[in-house]
């Protein structure tokens, strides 16, 4: 499967052919397409400030991170899993309180609740 490469400035995809032919350049640890490279060379000729470029790059990267972060939608399986984990905690407390009695059955019940919770959390993924 080919690797997807994006320009560090404009975020356009860079084709494998352009990357292999050497049209793209590497600057500041980012792959930059030919158009952005030409733009940078023009800016450098007209008094380009490298500090501004770095701060703009950091700002663009932060914007990209916030675009990538998505919220996971809740489902009824997640709610059931959370309830099962609450039962697990309650069962462990009950096993601790009644440690003179039959603790093994309470611990086994806690394991069953926890396995149910893990199953419900993972079932959608």
pTM of the predicted model over 0.85: no
pLDDT, tens only, 20-55 = 776 676 766 677 777 777 776 666 555 556 677 778
Say what the pLDDT of residue 2 is: 60
Cα 83–Cα 84–Cα 90 angle in degrees, nearest 5: 90
Domain boundaries, the chain: 5-68, 76-122
Q: Within 10 Å of residue 109's Cβ, how many Cβ atoms?
A: 16
Residue 64: closest CA among 107, 6, 123, 122: 6
pLDDT, tens only, 99-122 = 888 888 889 999 999 999 999 888
Residue 69: closest CA among 57, 77, 61, 79: 61
């Amino acid at each position: 499967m080919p690797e997807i490469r994006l320009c560090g400035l404009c975020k356009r995809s860079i084709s494998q052919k352009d990357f292999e032919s050497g049209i793209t350049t590497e600057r500041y640890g980012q792959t930059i397409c030919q158009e952005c490279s030409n733009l940078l060379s023009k800016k450098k000729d007209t008094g380009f400030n490298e500090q501004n470029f770095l701060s703009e790059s950091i700002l663009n990267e932060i914007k990209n991170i916030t675009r990538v972060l998505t919220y996971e939608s809740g489902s009824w399986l997640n709610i059931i899993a959370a309830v099962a984990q609450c039962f697990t905690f309650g069962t462990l407390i009950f096993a601790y309180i009644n440690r003179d009695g039959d603790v093994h059955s309470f611990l086994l019940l806690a394991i069953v609740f926890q396995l149910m919770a893990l199953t419900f959390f993972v079932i959608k993924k």
